[in-house]
Structure 1
């Protein structure tokens, strides 16, 4: 009976939270977090890893988007079947063991979530340095104010949060689309889109090796789509809107990324791109905008970058506290984190703690080192999330699954192996930070044991 009651709670759409996020709101959360300043410079890294082959780089962006779409559809099955807060934490709890879900959430709570928020908040005013004389202390002050104001704003209900996210999503797309269409229309370059590098033909094996290496870079531009599952309990008709938001959100961004990079190639000759990269200037999007629109282009790019980062910042502040709320609901976390504001139905306590942690991290100098500590673990948990689709079908074969991932079981296995490849790549490329990142789940394991002991004592006293 206990198992049946748990399954009923997992699959029920009844909730204390407010289901105020519609389809566009879900897409805005996905796009708001995924589309940041990376659209203006990540293409340079992809192109370098493709041996400066323009055609191969565009294939890389398309394949990276396809991998993300398929990964999103795997998550769509999980979220539509279990429309509860928590996302990855919930799925790891049910597919494997609660300690895995806890370790993911603990790493995210301690460093991952606040570190990402702090980094974005600092990056936003930094992008304005080209037009204003802002010192380091001024940038940190602005970052702290942004975090505090957005955290407070998002305490007034998910409906207001979704409205702001929708507005920022539209606002960030306007400058990006202006650059894209102007570059496509006014570009004078006819790019060569062959898959062979300009330095000379290489073997099929070398092409596949370059493609695989470049896809790793492109996938970072698609990072963030899984955050929509964290707020599944606040999505209207999640069995319909969650899969649609993931498919249309990630699919639309894939098209945007491919067209944006093609538009750059229409404006900047390959020789000019090579000169920029030799000078370690990776902002190809900025250079393309300045070439076709002059100083106006530079302003549009700066505004676009600021709006993109604002949307990503707000999206992270919305999503992360729902994970900590779900952990508290499961029992292995602070009891206060499952308290909801009586009027706005928002997990206000984890929102406030996240705000404090983020502000503390803003005061540290090397935020990149803090956030890189959790990259290795994140890839591990994403891999487990893909395989959770298979495990949960076997563990709970009878629960209602309004959406089933296409190509099962090939797609979950394939995308799981892709994340395994990213895991190995991170270990090879950055072994020090990858191994240091293991310290976080080690501390988390101790914390889990303490929370578990508390639960057992509470159970024995009843």
Structure 2
């Protein structure tokens, strides 16, 4: 796995644009409304963004050490193999393919298509027709594949187009990522300044309480639920490690790109959140289906809604590309190790890209788009991703003991305090999310237990590992 499929073509700016571009996508435009409803407090809403940003930064610091140690294509799959062995690496790789990576692409493309619908007015079935086809999952809930069919069709088309681009060229995907990241930062700066300089809001909204304020366990449950939204918005920082084998001077550029990219995103998210609050009290945010469009509409007039919709399409388009570009590399690495279908580990003979893995990811992401809503997909992949991040933090301690003399071009700042803080918080978040998801399902607030659905899909990796292990052993004995 030390030899990448297409050599080291990505420099620091490409790596940083992957971090920023993979993070800033749909979350900051879609999740704040749901988060506002969950915490019912402008102060707690801002605090949730700060908490999520701090612990995402801690995660970035942790994975910067490991990424610099093993700058190979495959990211966490490679790291987990070094930390815990083949079985654990496969379980992560399967979860990444089945839930984390493909569901993230599906969720972001869904938002891109939803905002494009502002202009396109895509068709959809009647409510009766949408509810007529139900996929029932025993003990976990129901899925409605015909809901919002027009938006889902466009979402699939977007994934298809960007899969084709990255199938043809790593460098082209990197160029698109740099350009789209520059555009999206410019777009967000314009959005924030346009709102703050409109004079249509008030800073009192930053502290004015909701008319539906929460306290006690209800508030704690709301904060945990809102953290899922914030972590979803910050997710993607680890993607740069997936293409470690294709980054120039990876021992320097992986840690540097993670730190710079995450700090930029934390600042941007706080500014955007406060911009929304400036023109919309927390209750108005909670009731808004398209909070970014509504906020800019209040600040600059109704016609500006089209402008912000176009901005969001651009931003989410870049995030789809960043995720598509990086995430199939995990499946590619598994295929190279003969722990997945062997064809996924074959680079394209002409383009040098992991073409087969890319197309397999497209196919499964399309299924996920059809099966779920944005919130279901986002909550499911965010939860499973944080389960993986938790084990990765444990692995830093394992590697310090297991490989004490291995070169470490970068060592995590604040060791062992930072990894321990990250571990403690991540463990609390994972357990409390399961409890909160079950509560919401029993209360009829969600059609499916998102975290348990993600765990159920991930658990299918156990029999699959036994199957692929048997196939690999048979091939080795015959050779």
Question: Per-residue deviation at 1:363?
Answer: 4.2
Q: Distance in 2 between matches of 1:266 and 1:433?
A: 32
- Partners of 2:224 and 2:432 within 8 A in 1: no
Moved more, 357-366 or 16-25: 357-366
- Partners of 1:42 and 1:282 within 8 A in 2: no
Aligned to 2:191: 179
Q: Distance in 2 between matches of 1:201 and 1:346?
A: 52
Aligned to 1:19: 8
Deviation sequence 1:35-92 (CA, Å, 0-9, x none): 12322343334444544243x4333322321211111111111101100111111111
Question: Per-residue deviation at 1:245?
Answer: 1.0
Moved more, 22-31 or 73-82: 22-31
Work out which of the residue numbers 387, 390, 408 in structure 2 matches 1:380. Answer: 387
Work out which of the residue numbers 449, 452, 457 in structure 2 matches 1:440. Answer: 457
Number of equivalent positions: 445
- Partners of 2:200 and 2:298 within 8 A in 1: no
Aligned to 2:317: 310
Aligned to 1:29: 18
Question: Per-residue deviation at 1:189?
Answer: 4.2
When residues 208 and 442 of structure 1 are mapped into structure 2, their CA distance, relative to the original with a 3 A threshold, is: closer
Question: Per-residue deviation at 1:282?
Answer: 5.0
Q: Distance in 1 between matches of 2:370 and 2:224?
A: 37
Question: Per-residue deviation at 1:308?
Answer: 1.7
When residues 35 and 429 of structure 1 are mapped into structure 2, their CA distance, relative to the original with a 3 A threshold, is: same
Aligned to 1:454: 471
Question: Per-residue deviation at 1:426?
Answer: 2.1
Q: Distance in 2 between matches of 1:287 and 1:341?
A: 45
Moved more, 381-390 or 357-366: 357-366
- Partners of 1:196 and 1:202 within 8 A in 2: no
**Partner SS, residue 388 of structure 1:** helix
When residues 126 and 204 of structure 1 are mapped into structure 2, their CA distance, relative to the original with a 3 A threshold, is: closer
When residues 214 and 111 of structure 1 are mapped into structure 2, their CA distance, relative to the original with a 3 A threshold, is: closer
Deviation sequence 1:363-402 (CA, Å, 0-9, x none): 4465765675555433221100111111111111111110
Question: Per-residue deviation at 1:450?
Answer: 1.8
Aligned to 1:4: none
Deviation sequence 1:139-170 (CA, Å, 0-9, x none): 34433332222111111221111001111112
Q: Distance in 1 between matches of 2:268 and 2:377?
A: 30
When residues 62 and 111 of structure 1 are mapped into structure 2, their CA distance, relative to the original with a 3 A threshold, is: closer
Q: Distance in 2 between matches of 1:131 and 1:417?
A: 45
- Partners of 1:86 and 1:323 within 8 A in 2: yes
Work out which of the residue numbers 279, 291, 297 in structure 2 matches 1:290. Answer: 297
Moved more, 282-291 or 415-424: 282-291
Contiguous gaps of at least 5 residues in structure 2 = 125-148, 439-448
Q: Distance in 2 between matches of 1:193 and 1:245?
A: 35
When residues 234 and 289 of structure 1 are mapped into structure 2, their CA distance, relative to the original with a 3 A threshold, is: same
Contiguous gaps of at least 5 residues in structure 1 = 1-8
- Whether 1:357 and 2:346 are equivalent positions in the alignment is no
Work out which of the residue numbers 283, 287, 294 in structure 2 matches 1:274. Answer: 283
- Partners of 1:175 and 1:303 within 8 A in 2: no
When residues 28 and 455 of structure 1 are mapped into structure 2, their CA distance, relative to the original with a 3 A threshold, is: same
TM-score normalised to the size of structure 2? 0.84
Moved more, 283-292 or 96-105: 283-292
Moved more, 347-356 or 130-139: 130-139
When residues 193 and 207 of structure 1 are mapped into structure 2, their CA distance, relative to the original with a 3 A threshold, is: farther
Deviation sequence 1:333-368 (CA, Å, 0-9, x none): 222222112332211111122222233444446576
Aligned to 1:154: 166
When residues 175 and 300 of structure 1 are mapped into structure 2, their CA distance, relative to the original with a 3 A threshold, is: farther
Question: Per-residue deviation at 1:454?
Answer: 2.5
Q: Distance in 2 between matches of 1:399 and 1:196?
A: 53
Moved more, 202-211 or 125-134: 202-211
Q: Distance in 2 between matches of 1:348 and 1:130?
A: 33
TM-score normalised to the size of structure 1? 0.86
When residues 332 and 140 of structure 1 are mapped into structure 2, their CA distance, relative to the original with a 3 A threshold, is: same
Q: Distance in 2 between matches of 1:456 and 1:187?
A: 69
When residues 294 and 420 of structure 1 are mapped into structure 2, their CA distance, relative to the original with a 3 A threshold, is: same
